[in-house]
Amino acid sequence: MATIVTSGWDATHLAVHRENLIGQNGDSELSLLRHPSYPLLAEIPDDLSVLFDELRSVAEDYLLRVALLVDPVLKEALRLLKAREPRGFGWLPVTWDGPAGRVDPRGSFVVERSRAGTTLDQTVVLMAGNRSLKDDTILMVDGLAIGLRVVMHIGPRTSGMPIPIRVTGCSMCELRRAVDPKSLVPKREERFAHFFGFALQLLRFQAMNLSGYEELTPRLLRFAGVGTRTSSFDDMTGFLWNVELGLTEKQDAVEFVSIREQEQLTYAQAPGATHQPKLFFRDPASCGFACDVIERSPTRATIDRFREDAPFLPPKLEEAGRFKVLQSDIADPQNQRMDVQSVDPANLPVRSDHLAAAQTYLRAREFFACLSDVDLSADAYFKFAQLPLLMRHRAAFRAHPDGKSVRAQVRLEGAPVPFGAKYDATTRPQLEVAFGSAALRHRAEHPNDHGRSTLQPLGLAADPRWAWHEFGHVLSYAATGALEFEFAHSVGDSLAAVLNDATSCLADDPLYDGVTYPWVPAGRRHDRDAAAGWCWCGRRNGQRRAVPAYPPKLYKGYVEEQMLSSSVFRFYRAIGGHPKNAPAMRERAATATAYLLLRAASLLGPAALVPARSADAMVSAMVDADIGTQQPGALLFTGGCLHKVLRWAFERQGLFATPLHDKNVEGPGLPPAVDLWVKDRRRDADKGGYEPVALEWPEAGPKPEEPAWFADPEEGVQVDNRNIHVKVRNRGEQAAIDVTVRAWSAPVSLGTLHWHLGGEVKLAQVQGGDCVSAHIAAGPSGGQKYLLVDVSASGDRSNLDGSTHLPCAGGTAPPSDTAALRDLVANDNNLALRLIP
């Protein structure tokens, strides 16, 4: 029988974040709750036969607390959930990676990390929707974006003991339509009202802010953006137009002049030696500085020298069960589209289809290596599509059937997973990643697969950044069944920016540091400024004001994607990706950031039930990815270290600026309701944020120099005659009550740190925007000491506070390892560190 441990859990607590969005009826409705440091705790029997029953019992107790205080519609939905009817709105059994194995991606599911057969951590996402069941088999799910989602982290398990559960949030969509099925189809007069209302809006538009456009067909464009109306900037609506261009097929077919450029292999090779294949691991633009970046463009003949040895490259370009590079009938009409491409690894000229195929193999290999590095199983990740992943190195596109295009695309091979019928695992579609050319006018003449001499371009797969953008769509579809998120085009730009920054010579260059695609330009950046209008709650993000529709209008343009990549890149730089950090630290920060994006997508669940309609939904999923990480390994951070920096990174991009979905607020967002902090030495330290700095560890000496992430010695933590003076501040608007300030000290050591609790003091409250001094007697004495101060309150607990039940929360003492201590302190403004001479 499930037991609720935190019986006094309160959905209106200051530590619970809430987001409301617009529903189809135009009213505001609850979209999500998030409370990573204030979980509802429960225990369930260690019995797999009753696992689903116990989990939904815990979920229902949690939802009742939410319904009574926050959302009355949820109360009616909860009544349907408890009825246990096999038809209608109800819980979906755990059908993916659950006790019975991977069966059906449409139900509740488990996301786990494992290594060498050992489970590292598990998160259960319990889903509810309109469905039809027979026993525990899903016969049908309506898939009309009506659903409920509860996130539950499984704690470390001990045989024979109850399993600990942490509930850290929920999300939902259109529960009114679940409670009242008649509202599924709008009435005829309502449809006409929507049409005439839209027509009136068009007449009143004075100006338009265009987000972007999409080429649907050679003659049909879709424009998206925000229109400014005459009344005020606060009264604006997003628009989505389809525009027929009226061009003929002949006008559409733009031909580019090919430059015949005969290229020969120039590698020095000893007689009888086997030639080593060479590939582009980095884009050449990132291999040097900005002063001569033009000399490394795709059109230059000298880029060959930026290739590196690839001894792993096989003649047949596939890895069994994971991916395969398919032949291209654009490159050679005699090729068979579903046959695997073969190459001669010793003969890969720069501008050749065979190098393009080899590069495509390398990109797929890097993608699956990224999953493996963070202990995520590709087989478990690919829920809505089956492996192997199909890779096409030179492809035709609808608007460019000849393949002469600088573009890439992810497309389905086969029919999507059906929601209105019984599911058959063997009919899941496959995903194909298709690449175009990196430079259209520069080609070289080489024999094709059947010996005919043809002009061949440099393949776009040579640019890893473009490949990671497409892999963003692969991740989205594989995990959620949708190629795009509803709030943004994809996470692809974020992955492209982060995973290629640590090794780029252009990092920290004022001209190119924020350019997402410096080699094959795409015009997008990941350093967009919220103060310049690139903000989640501003006019540019018209999507947040849109009434939900299903099927969704997928096109968002790249404005929201650049907001997302700017948010994520700021986060990456803050947790260790700063250019002044050591390469190993930067690469770890990149891997950890990519991991949160990967796991977040897998935690979102079916987009046909609860789609990610806002950036806040992605924040919640990334936070759950962080706090659910029990055993990180060398490449990741212990769970709970990063969730505060993550929220701050999106706050700086304009998220949380207003709780009202129909109000536009430009510029950075607001802090949490309660946000305690101690001032450090970073730039803009007066704001209490996590501005990126070098995270070096200080060297002990007679006059040690404390780094920027250490506490300010005057305005943060001051030591005077063994008395510790701490200035406790609150960024939030609400008062922090029952504030506890603790101080530890440890002798400076190159090895293990041994902490001693020096004292503790209570503060009745710290008002929003205020600063209160706390004094602790008997500070450190005798030799150099590290001094750690912890400030915690129920509304904003420090990540060290054991009551959070975060994996990183020691509770009784700080980490004894300096690297773990840095991870904890640098990413939590409740913690402050000093080096006392």
Confidence of residue 243 (pLDDT cuts 50, 70, 90): low
**For range 249-264, the mean pLDDT:** 34
Calpha distance 705→223 (Å, rounded): 55
pLDDT per residue as tens digits for the range 447-472? 999 999 999 999 999 999 999 999 99
Q: Which segments of 353-392 are extended strands (E)? A: 389-392
Residues 168-193: what's their mean pLDDT?
Answer: 69
Write the Ramachandran bin of 256: left for phi over 0, alpha for psi from -120 to 50, otherwise beta.
Answer: beta
Domain assignment of residue 279, yes or no: no
Question: 802: which DSSP letter?
Answer: G
659 and 715 in a single domain? The answer is no
- Could you tell me which of 214, 651, 603 has the C-alpha nearest to residue 399? 214
Whether 61 shows a pLDDT value over 60: the answer reads: yes
Q: How many domains does the chain have?
A: 5
Q: Which residue has the tokens 């705790």?
A: 41
In this model, does residue 197 exceed pLDDT 50? no
pLDDT at 427 over 70: yes
Residue 27 shares a structural domain with residue 127: yes
Q: Does the residue 290 lie in any domain?
A: no
What local confidence, expressed as pLDDT, does residue 169 receive? 97
Residues 158, 26, single domain; the answer is yes
DSSP-assigned beta bridge partners for residue 410: 433
Residue at 544 is within a domain: yes
Q: What is the DSSP letter of 699?
A: P
Q: Kindly state whether residue 469 falls inside one of the protein's structural domains.
A: no
Residues 618 and 664 reside in one and the same domain: yes
Q: How confident is the model at residue 750 (pLDDT cuts 50, 70, 90)?
A: confident
3-state secondary structure of 628: coil
Tell me, what's the pLDDT at 759? 92
Beta bridge partners of 576: none
Torsion angles phi and psi, residue 319, rounded to 5: -125, 120
Show Cβ contacts of residue 674 under 8 Å, excluding neighbours closer than 6 positions.
Answer: 14, 15, 730, 732, 734, 735, 736, 768, 793, 795, 796
pLDDT tens, position by position, 656-667: 999 988 889 999
Q: Are residues 361 and 433 in the same domain?
A: yes
Measured CA to CA, the distance from residue 389 to residue 594 in angstroms comes to 20
The whole-number pLDDT of residue 14 equals 96
Nearby residues of 439 by Cβ (< 8 Å), 6 or more positions away: 297, 298, 299, 406, 457, 458, 520
Q: For the purposes of burial, counting CB atoms within 10 Å of the CB of 767, is it exposed (0-12), middle (13-18) or buried (19 or more)?
A: middle
The DSSP code for 227 is E
**Which position has the higher pLDDT, 246 or 614?**
614
Residues 125 and 148 in one domain: yes
- Confidence (pLDDT) at 546: 78
Residues 179 and 192 in one domain: no
What is the mean pLDDT of the segment spanning 392-412? 94
The total number of residues written for the chain in this structure: 837
Q: Pick from 621, 650, 669: which residue ends a domain?
A: 669
User: Based on the domain organization, do 521 and 641 belong to the same domain?
Assistant: yes
Q: Please say if the pLDDT value at position 231 is more than 60.
A: no
Cis peptide before 86 (omega within 30 of 0): no
**Amino acid found at 160:** G
Q: Which stretch of 532-546, 548-562, 617-631, 755-769 has the lowest confidence by average pLDDT? A: 548-562
Same domain for 513 and 662, yes or no, is yes
Question: Which alpha helices (H) appear in 530-676, and where do they start and end?
Answer: 559-572, 583-604, 615-627, 643-651
* Same structural domain, 734 and 641: no
DSSP H or E run through 415: none
* CA 245/CA 15 separation, integer angstroms: 52
> Which of 116-120, 239-243, 411-415, 686-690 is predicted least confidently?
239-243
For residue 202, tell me if it sits in a domain. Answer: yes
Name which of 491, 23, 538 is nearest 238 in CA terms. 538
522, part of any domain: yes
Residue that is last in its domain, among 669, 697, 718:
669
Residues 65-93: tens digit of each pLDDT? 999 888 888 999 999 999 999 999 999 99
- Are residues 389 and 324 part of one domain? yes
Q: What is the pLDDT of residue 223?
A: 56
Q: Cα–Cα distance between 517 and 463 in angstroms, integer?
A: 9
Vertex 595: Cα angle to 521 and 621 (nearest 5): 100
pLDDT-derived band of residue 781, with 50, 70 and 90 as boundaries? confident
Same domain, 544 and 651: yes
pLDDT at 518 over 90: yes
- Domain encompassing residue 104: 1-185
Q: Which residue has the higher pLDDT, 640 or 26?
A: 640
Which stretches of 92-234 are DSSP H helices? 175-179, 188-204
* Domain final residue pick, 639, 669, 699: 669
Worst-scoring range by mean pLDDT, 89-103, 594-608, 627-641? 89-103
Q: Say what the pLDDT of residue 660 is.
A: 87
Across residues 419-447, what is the average pLDDT?
Answer: 92
Sequence-distant (≥ 6) Cβ neighbours of residue 771 within 8 angstroms: 727, 728, 729, 730
Is 270 domain-assigned? no
Phi, psi torsion values for 649, nearest 5 degrees? -60, -40
Q: Residue 232 pLDDT more than 50? A: no
pLDDT at 207 over 50: no
Q: Is residue 238 part of a domain?
A: yes
DSSP string of 109-164, one letter each residue: EEEEEEETTEEEEEEEEEEEEEEEEETTEEEEE--SS-EEEEEEEE----TTSPEE
Model confidence at 688: pLDDT above 50: yes
Return d(Cα 260, Cα 309) in angstroms, integer.
27
